[in-house]
Amino acid sequence: MSQLESRIPPGALAEKWSRHKSGIRLVNPANKRKYEVIVVGAGLAGASASASLSELGYAVSCFVFHDSPRRAHSIAAQGGINAAKNYQNDGDSVYRLFYDTAKGGDFRSREANVYRLAEVSAQIIDQCVAQGVPFAREYGGLLANRSFGGAQVSRTFYARGQTGQQLLLGAYSALSRAAVSGGVRLHTHAEMLDLVVVGGHAKGIVVRNLLTGEVTRHAADAVVLATGGYGNVFNLSTYARGSNATAIWRAYKRGACFANPCFTQIHPTCIPVTGDYQSKLTLMSESLRNDGRIWVPRNRDDRLKPPASIPEVERDYYLERIYPSFGNLCPRDVASRAAKRVCDEGRGVGESGLGVYLDFSDAIGRLGEAGVRERYGNLFDIYHEITNEDAYKVPMRIFPAAHYAMGGLWVDYNLMSNVPGLFVLGEANFSDHGANRLGASALMQGLADGYFILPYTIGDYLATLKPGSRPPADGPEFMQAADGVATVTKRLLSVRGRQPVSHFHKRLGHILWQHCGMARNREGLGKALQEIPALREEFWANGLVPGTGDSLNQSLERAVRVADFLELGELMCRDALAREESCGCHFREEHQYPDGECKRDDENFAHVAAWEYAGEGTAPVRNAEPLAYETVKMSVRNYK
């Protein structure tokens, strides 16, 4: 069993971070350049961390599998980033942002971490503006805000519908500057395939060059993983195709605990699947639910009829019916589950039966087509581009899709995993969003971790090491890890079975979606726990990975990632099975109130489940870190 020490500082909630910072060990400025830090990833978390650490004087190497750091998946975030600036004078505060985020997570995150996140949020906006991020402005030249779900104040900063792009380009520009001044060595097309642990501490990584197949070893005094979320385990998701779990999965197999793997967010408003060929699902902003009404036919025989031919009485506006006070604006997890239910009943619309209508005809009646166009024109355009349908004339069809991973590697208050020297930032860690993430808070967390938390906390660890004490990259642990990487690659290429990798990824996605998606139960999870290992076996016996390992081979890249997803999927189901309660995204059908709402069990499950690898063929160990809420009282969420 691992010792999980959260290292939450003592004292009042509002003073923990400043007290902790002033007590943290410091590294002598003249010694900083003698410490080598490896950062894997250059999304918001990795790019901001690399630039900031190099400004402090550390020798930083940054690795990305992309062809350029600017292409990290963070680029795709649309809506915005939260910060407790209270520019609107509407009563926002650090406490309020903290409370909304903790409650949004259904009280399954760590109170002290969430408070710190809210505390540094304002500084993030300052930093980004100084870098030239062109946030939306008011006529007077000051920054504008918009409202987002789960909050009653307006605290979201945005740059049109491309907030993630602009924040990432800001962090990328800081990274570019650091690269030219010599502080950061950038490695592109470089995929980390193993973590090297020496004497119990993280001391390096093994990397495969995706263009040449060359496997290299890199030693460091500390390793930082900022490798993003694992939602592509579902195959179809709103993530970029390349997003994957490999870095954190390999670290897990080297001893880092994996926390709450079953906490994955399913976003209610995405464009539905049209066919088996589909590779990705596109998000339609949540804001559409302000004016659109969601419905399906009452009668399943009507599901393929043109919607206009279905009279009002034959329609079921199910969210308005079940949640009269929140209606179409109930939270993400609730809206997603309800859509799944009506489709399971056979009332889903569209060819596949996996869709519900988001209807703007009332809004058009009220505001006119021009009024609706003014509010949502660009979204209607995107919808048209993808579906070739005119949502001003026929209702949109939407369906939930996998969107975000709240789970990730376990970290302490310093963002260090239980493997000393291994730090984990951004979506790759688990710490701030509990069982459900609120909109506009992932960008905030990635940048908080990279700009304002890790640069302090990493010193606390490095100060315990003698400069220059890191082991050489040709030590036995490095050689063994590199051999392992080469072996896996060779094995994948030698199967030469009949089914392409995409086939297995799709089937895994189906299993998880069915049994570990929006609703879970003991029987289904048990079934998934049979099906996934069988599928994995089939993959290793009958997978088809063409080509060779010594040049660009995209089939091989995907095979490596899918092989890890096939293992991670099993851990997600185990975690979902062990958590005998419902909370946030995790809806266990056995644990619900008579009205179908989540029934949390604070007595037995107010804890983080941190899974520890126990070797191949052995069941992993479930460690529990109790969640102590010192300031806030855990309450029941109600949206009726």
Separation of alpha carbons 121 and 85, rounded Å: 8
Selection from ligand FAD, other proteins, none that 509 binds (CB < 5 to 8 A by kind) is none
23 vs 182 by CB, closer to other proteins: 182
Q: Would you count residue 159 as binding other proteins (CB under 8 A)? A: yes
481 contacts: CB under 8 Å, gap ≥ 6? 194, 195, 196, 206, 217
Cα torsion angle, 423, 427, 429, 431, sign: positive
197 contacts: CB under 8 Å, gap ≥ 6? 203, 254, 255, 419, 477
| Binds other proteins (CB under 8 A): choice among 348, 350, 459, 569 | 350
Residue with tokens 């975030």: 77
Q: Would you count residue 125 as binding other proteins (CB under 8 A)? A: yes
Question: Per-residue x/- marks for other proteins, 515-544, CB under 8 A?
Answer: -----------------------------x
Residues of this chain, 578-597, that bind ligand FAD according to CB under 6 A: none
Q: Phi first, then psi: give them for residue 392, nearest 5 degrees.
A: -75, -25
Distance in Å, CB of 134 to ligand FAD, minimum: 16
* Sequence letter at residue 469: S
Q: Would you count residue 404 as binding other proteins (CB under 8 A)? A: no
15 contacts: CB under 8 Å, gap ≥ 6? none
- Total binding residues toward other proteins, as defined by CB under 8 A: 83
Selection from ligand FAD, other proteins, none that 125 binds (CB < 5 to 8 A by kind) is other proteins
Separation of alpha carbons 85 and 410, rounded Å: 30
Q: Would you count residue 458 as binding ligand FAD (CB under 6 A)? A: no
| Binds ligand FAD (CB under 6 A): choice among 247, 288, 338, 568 | 247
3-state secondary structure of 280: coil
Selection from ligand FAD, other proteins, none that 48 binds (CB < 5 to 8 A by kind) is other proteins
Of the listed pieces 122-130, 315-323, 566-574, 590-598, which binds other proteins according to CB under 8 A? 122-130
Q: Would you count residue 442 as binding ligand FAD (CB under 6 A)? A: yes
Q: Would you count residue 105 as binding ligand FAD (CB under 6 A)? A: no
Residues of this chain, 32-71, that bind other proteins according to CB under 8 A: 48, 51-52, 55, 66-71
Q: How far is CA 254 from CA 4, 5, 73, 203, 569, in A?
A: 16, 18, 26, 12, 18
Q: Please, are residues 295 and 317 in contact by the beta-carbon 8 Å criterion?
A: yes
Residues of this chain, 224-243, that bind other proteins according to CB under 8 A: 240-242
Residues of this chain, 74-93, that bind ligand FAD according to CB under 6 A: 74, 76-81
Per the annotation, the verdict on 160 as an active-site residue is no
Q: What is the DSSP letter of 309?
A: G
In the sheet with 422-424, reading across from the earlier edge strand, the strands are 184-187, 59-63, 36-40, 222-225, 422-424
Of the listed pieces 29-37, 121-129, 292-300, 363-371, which binds other proteins according to CB under 8 A? 121-129
Selection from ligand FAD, other proteins, none that 552 binds (CB < 5 to 8 A by kind) is other proteins
Residues 131, 178, 256: CA angle, nearest 5 degrees: 100
From the list 332, 337, 347, 561, the catalytic residue is 332
Q: Would you count residue 403 as binding ligand FAD (CB under 6 A)? A: yes
- Name the helix (H) or strand (E) containing 419: none
Selection from other proteins, ligand FAD, none that 227 binds (CB < 5 to 8 A by kind) is ligand FAD
303 contacts: CB under 8 Å, gap ≥ 6? 296, 297, 346, 347, 348, 349, 353
376 vs 451 by CB, closer to other proteins: 451
Active-site annotation, residues: 332
State the residues that interact with ligand FAD by CB under 6 A: 40-46, 63-66, 72-74, 76-81, 163-164, 190-192, 226-229, 238-239, 243-244, 246-247, 283, 403-404, 426-428, 440-443, 446
